[in-house]
């Protein structure tokens, strides 16, 4: 079920539990600011989730409230993950769902990193406004 990406942080969300080691993950990267692991239901040949170690419900929360050092550290970690996975080149796509219209399911900010082959159109053409 989609979440609104706003309000109080739920420390029982699944990514908080992964960060605490209560639930296993297929880890690909970890540093002081971020943890990256394979998505359990991949939608591309490479589908990795990168999450900050701090408690932020969504991109909106992270962008508005995280200290600058955490924001810089997190996005540098995303770049490091892409390089580590051998995606720079040939390229990759980043996506972060925020709120109900996006279909965000897990209320802990995360970036999806997709790659491993041509990824197709950014969004479904039928969603674009008529020209
Ligand atoms: P979102 O819709 O942006 O909130 O994406 C949540 C993502 O988390 C989905 O792609 C799920 O497949 C993924 N996911 C949910 N539970 C787990 C888990 N235990 N380990 C890895 N990925 C998960």
- What integer pLDDT is reported at residue 59 of this predicted model? 98
pTM of the model: 0.97
Give the CA distances from residue 78 to residues 12, 14, 29, 93, in Å, rounded to whole numbers and listed in that order: 24, 20, 9, 11
Out of 2, 36, 41, mutate this one to test ligand 1's pocket (max ligand atoms within 8 Å of CB): namely 41
Contacts of 90 (CB under 8 A, 6+ apart): 115
Catalytic residue positions? 110
> Which pLDDT belongs to residue 128?
85
Q: Quote the pLDDT of residue 125.
A: 85
Distance of CA 62 to the CA centre of its chain: 12
Q: Say how far apart CA 130 and CA 6 lie, in whole Å.
A: 31
CA of 40 to the centre of ligand 1 (A): 6
Q: Which domains does the chain have, with CATH numbers?
A: 14-115 (3.30.428.10)
Pocket of ligand 1 (CB under 6 A): 14, 23, 25, 39-41, 49, 97, 103-106
List, run by run, the mean pLDDT of 10-residue segments along the chain (131 residues). Answer: 95 98 98 98 98 98 98 98 98 98 98 97 87 72
- At 97 the pLDDT is 98
């Amino acid at each position: 079920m989609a979440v609104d990406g706003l309000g109080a942080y739920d420390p029982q969300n699944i990514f908080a539990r992964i960060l605490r080691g209560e639930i296993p993950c297929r880890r690909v990267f970890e540093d002081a600011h971020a943890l990256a692991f394979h998505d359990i239901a991949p939608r591309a040949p490479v589908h990795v989730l990168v999450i900050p170690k701090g408690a932020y419900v969504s991109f909106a929360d992270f962008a508005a409230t995280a200290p600058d050092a955490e924001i810089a550290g997190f996005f540098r970690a995303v770049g490091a993950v892409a390089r580590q996975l051998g995606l720079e080149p040939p390229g990759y796509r980043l996506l972060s769902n925020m709120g109900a219209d996006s279909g965000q399911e897990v209320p802990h900010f995360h970036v999806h990193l997709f790659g491993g082959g041509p990824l197709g159109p950014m969004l479904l053409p039928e969603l674009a406004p008529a020209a």
